Structure 1
C-alpha cells in the first residue's frame, strides 16, 4: 500500500512510484504512435483515410466511463472490505489479550495458558498472511509452534484453522480442569469464533473475483475505443491528436489497471493491502501484552510502500 504525504503540484506530474504508469505506458505509447500515423496519413492521403464524426466518440466515452466507474467501485469495495476485516482482527487480538488475563493461576508458571493462547494468536495472524498471499515464508509461524502443532500445521490444507483449533483445545482443557468457568469460556469462544469469521471472509474475497465477463467487456471496449479515437479527431485536432489520445489511453488503461490491483487486495502490488505489516502489528501488540520489552519498531514503508 502506498503511504506518503500528498504530493505538491510539481511532484504530481513526475511521480512514478506507486502509480500505474509503469504498467500501462506501452499501451499509451502505441495509441500515441497510431494517432501520429493516422494524422500523417490523413494529411498525406486524405482520400484513403476515413474521417469519422467525433460526436459518437463522446457518447461512447461517457458510457465507457460509467461502466469503468462501476467496476472500479466494485473492486474498491472488495479492497475496503478486506481492510475492515483485518482491522477487526487487530481489535479481536487485543480483546483476546485482555480477556486472557482471567487465566492467571497460582503456581510456578501462572501465565502459561495465557502465553500459549497469545502465542497461537500471533502465529494465526502470520499464517493468515501466508494463506492469503501464497509464496511467502512460514518462518514467522513455525518458530512459535510446538512440534506436534507444527506437524499438523504443515500437513493441513487450511493451516490457520489448525491454530484456531489449538486455541480452542487449550481453553476446552482449562474448562475441563475447572480453571475456566462457563461465562469466561463463552467469552473466549466468541472471540475465537469471530477470528474464524475474519478468516472465512478473507477467503471469500480471495476466491471470488469480480465476474470475468465485466473485465473482458471492459478490456475489449477500452481497446477498441482508444484504437478508433485517432480517426475521430485527426481532422479537428491535427497534430495534437497523439497527445489527446495518449491522455485518454492513460486514463482508461490506468483506471483499468488500478481496478485490477484493488480486485485482489491480498497481493503484493503497490496498491494492495499491507497484510504483512498488519500481522506484524498484531504480533507486537500481543508481545507487549505478555510483558515483553524487546519489541521491534512498528512496520514502516520502504520507498513509500508498506507491505
Structure 2
C-alpha cells in the first residue's frame, strides 16, 4: 500500500511506459501514412469512434468501481482481524488463570501457547494469501519490475516452515504442516486446547463459549479473505474492458485525422500528441483497475497484510509481557507490504 501523498509523475510514466510506446506507434503510423503517402482512406468519422469511447469509459468505470470494492473489503477484513486478535489476547490473559488444575507457571505457559499459536495462524494465512494465482497481475512486466526495484515481499523470500518453527510445539508444528490449509489447522488446534481446558476445569462454560466465538470470527475472516483471493474479478468483465479500451485507443488517431485536417495542413500532425494523450488516459485507467483487482497478491497498492500481521504480533507479545518484541515493519520507498 502506497502511503505517500501521491505517486510522482515520473513513477507513473515509468510504470506505464510500455503501453505508452505502443500508443505512440498507434498514433504516429496512421499520421505518417495519411500525410506523407496520401492514404486519406485511413481517416474515419469521429462520431462512431466517440460512441466506442463512451462505451469504453462506462465499462472501465464499472470495472474500477468493482475492483476498488474488492480492495476496500480486503482492508475491512484485516481491520476485523486486528480487532478480533486483540480480543483474543484479552480473553486469553483474563480467562486462563491459575487454579485447582493449573499452577501459575503452567497457566503462563498455556497463555503463551494460545497467543503464539494465533501468531502462527496469522503467519500461515498471510503466506497463503500471497501465493500467486494465474489471473493475478504481478506477472505483468510493469508490476513485477516496480516491485523488484521498490520493495521486497517477505512471503516470497522467507519460508513458512522457518517462520512457524519458533511459534509451535513439535506436535503442533508437524500437525499444521501436514495439512493443506495450514491456517485452518492452526485454529482447529486452538479449539482442541480450549476443549481440554474446559474439561479439566480451567475454563468454565461461559469462558469457553466466549473464546470459541472468537475462533469462529477468525474462521469467518479467513473465509472472506480466501473468497477474494481465490475468486477473481469475473474474467468476462475484465476481458471486455481490455478489448473496448484497446479498440478505442487504436481507432482514436484515425478519427482525429480529419478533425485536425480541417484546421489546416500542418495541424494534422497534432493527431500524434492528442491521440497519444487520449489513449494514455484510457489505458492508465484500465491499468489501475487491473492492478487493484487482487488486493492480497503483493502489489504496491494492495492491503499491507504483512505489516498488519506484525502490528498484531507486537500487541499480543506485549500483552504476554515478553521483552523480545519484533520491530514494526518499516515502509519501503513509501510502500507498506
Same fold (TM over 0.5): yes
Q: Is the 8 A contact 2:129 2:226 kept in 1?
A: yes
Residues of 2 paired with 1:23 and 1:213: CA distance?
25
Q: State the partner residue of 1:4.
A: 4
In structure 2, distance between residues paired with 1:71 and 1:64: 11
Identify the residue that residue 112 of structure 1 maps to in structure 2: 109
SS in 2 for 1:111: helix
Partner in structure 1 of residue 141 of structure 2: none
The partner residue of 2:288 within 234, 245, 258 is 258
In structure 2, the residue matched to 1:284 is 314
User: Could you say what secondary structure the match of 2:69 adopts?
Assistant: helix
Q: Kindly report the root-mean-square deviation, in angstroms, between the aligned alpha carbons of the 2 structures.
A: 1.7
CA distance in 2, matches of 1:58, 1:228: 10
1:92-126 C-alpha deviation (Å, 9 max, x unpaired): 01001111122121524132221111111111111
Pairing partner for 1:96 from 88, 91, 116: 88
Structure 2 SS opposite 1:151:
helix
Measured after TM superposition, the shift of residue 298 of structure 1 is: 2.1
Pair 1:180–1:204, CA change in 2 (3 A): same
Offset at residue 27 of structure 1 (A): 2.2
- d(CA) in 1 for partners of 2:121, 2:39: 69
**Which deviations, in whole Å up to 9, do the C-alpha atoms of 1:139-186 show, x marking residues without a partner?**
222221111111111111110011101111111111000111111111
Which stretch of structure 1 is more off in the superposition, 88-97 or 249-258?
Answer: 249-258
Corresponding residue SS for 1:186: helix
Indicate conservation of the 8 Å contact 2:55/2:244, yes or no: no
Tell me the distance in 1 between the aligned counterparts of 2:178 and 2:310: 24
Shift of 1:234: 1.9
> Deviation string for 1:47-95 (max 9, x for gaps)?
5442212222222212211111111111111111111011100100100
Residue 132, structure 1, aligned to residue 129, structure 2: yes
Aligned 8 A contact 2:123 2:164 in 1: yes
Does the CA-based 8 Å contact 2:82-2:312 persist in structure 1? yes
Partners of 1:47 and 1:29 lie apart in 2 by: 23
Distance 1:288 1:38 in 2: 66
Asked whether the equivalents of residues 97 and 202 of structure 2 are also in contact (C-alpha less than 8 Å), the reply is no
Q: In the alignment, which residue of structure 2 is the partner of 1:302?
A: 332
Q: What is the correspondence of 1:208-223 to structure 2 with a 5 Å cutoff?
A: 208-223=231-246
Instruction: Indicate yes or no: 2:54 matched with 1:62.
Output: yes
Provide the rounded CA distance (Å) in 1 between the counterparts of 2:82 and 2:219. 13
Gaps (5+ residues) in structure 2? 132-154, 261-267
Distance 1:252 1:267 in 2: 24
Where structure 1 has 5 or more consecutive residues not aligned to the other structure, the ranges are none
1:23, 1:257 within 8 Å by CA — same for their partners in 2?
Answer: no
Between the two proteins, the alignment pairs up a number of residues equal to: 299
Consecutive aligned runs of 4 or more in structure 1 exceeding 6 Å deviation: none
Tell me if structure 2 keeps the 8 A contact 1:79–1:262: yes
Instruction: Show the counterpart of 1:174.
Output: 197
Q: Is the 8 A contact 2:30 2:42 kept in 1?
A: no
> TM-score, structure 2 length as denominator?
0.84
Show the 5 A alignment for 1:25-104.
Answer: 25-100=17-92, 101-104=94-97
**In 2, Cα distance between the equivalents of 1:22 and 1:203?**
32
More displaced 10-residue stretch of structure 1: 137-146 or 116-125: 137-146
Tell me which of 119, 123, 134 is aligned to 2:120: 123
Equivalence for 2:148: none
